[in-house]
Amino acid sequence: MSTMAMDTQIGSGSQAAATEAAKPFFSVRDVHAYYGESYIVQGVSLDIRKGEILALLGRNGAGKSSTLRTIARTDDPQMRQGEIWLDGDPIHQMKSYQAAQAGIQLVPEDRRIISGLTVEENIFLAQVAPGTGWGLDQIYESFPRLAERRKQEGVTLSGGEQQMLAIARALARNLKLLLLDEPYEGLAPVIVHEIERILHSIKPLGITTIIVEQNAVAALKLADRAVILDTGEVAFSGTAKEVLDNAELRQEYLAI
Ligand SMILES: Nc1ncnc2c1ncn2[C@@H]1O[C@H](COP(=O)(O)OP(=O)(O)OP(=O)(O)O)[C@@H](O)[C@H]1O
Ligand SMILES: [Mg+2]
């Protein structure tokens, strides 16, 4: 083989690797969703690379929770148009349990800790679901507060501890895309920092995250990318830094 041919081969190989790295891991393409006849998610598109954190922001009623629910394939709102792709898998035709099996885990605002079960039983129940996630040891290492309270009933935990348990439960399942709806709501800054530390620590493991937060500054400091919704449409898409640096944009859509 001539040197030239070899060069070409090496060149095209690294180019292919570069294309692979630039390809989005998760993609939402022109998604439209309705509650009955109420048209709420109006053509949302977004892309995230593997291991990135995306802050999904916007005013009250902008459609942030509805977008997360659509991605998680809940029945309500009903998706009527568009495509959702995760790691090469089409998600748009799936039911919510199938999307969860494919690696999409939604932690809703109310956290859904199951009453009557201890912390540990809540985690066990998540592990029963098909697909493999973290074991108990790994969870307790990352969440020492949960280890201390393993025998306590989950619903008696503090708000911050319940949020940690909800995230731990997502990690106990097959987790590729973590959807967090207002994880910091009602939490003291010290607990917010602890959750931020956990979200940072799972990034290098390739877990990709979408975070919806009223505390936009905290979310933007954590995130790589940002999407701002306005009445169900994407008003801005770019880096988190662009939003932090753009006072006009923050004022108009985030009132910060
Ligand atoms: N179950 C429902 N049935 C009908 N309309 C709904 C339903 N849930 C939400 N909506 C409407 O959809 C729109 C978007 O709501 P959504 O909860 O997605 O907004 P949001 O951006 O998460 O707001 P917030 O910041 O207040 O949580 C709102 O106008 C809301 O009233
Ligand atoms: Mg909401």
* Count of the separate structural domains present in the chain: 1
Q: Report, as an integer, the average pLDDT of 211-219.
A: 96
Q: What is the pLDDT of residues 149-192, one digit of tens each?
A: 999 999 999 999 999 999 999 999 999 999 999 999 999 999 99
* Residue 234 belongs to a domain: yes
* Residue 86 belongs to a domain: yes
Q: Which residue has a Cα nearest atom 16 of ligand 1?
A: 63
Model confidence band, residue 11 (pLDDT cutoffs 50, 70, 90): very low
pLDDT score of 23? 78
Tell whether the model's pLDDT for residue 118 goes beyond 70: yes
* Residue 132 belongs to a domain: no
pLDDT score of 12? 52
The pick from 57, 64, 227 for probing ligand 1's pocket by mutation, whose C-beta has the most ligand atoms within 8 angstroms, reads 64
Q: What is the pLDDT of residues 93-102, one digit of tens each?
A: 999 999 999 9
Tell whether the model's pLDDT for residue 8 goes beyond 80: no
**Residues with Cβ within 6 A of ligand 1?**
35, 38, 40, 58, 60-66, 76
* Residue 105 belongs to a domain: yes
Distance in Å, CA 172 to ligand 2 centroid: 25
| pTM, 2 dp | 0.92
Distance in Å, CA 232 to ligand 1 centroid: 10
In 3D, which of 139, 193, 197 has the Cα closest to residue 148?
139
* Residue 219 belongs to a domain: yes
Q: What is the CATH number of the domain that holds 207?
A: 3.40.50.300
* Residue 38 belongs to a domain: yes
Distance in Å, CA 162 to ligand 1 centroid: 23
pLDDT score of 7? 43
| Beta-carbon count within 10 A of 137 CB | 9
Domain that holds residue 230: 23-116+175-190+198-254
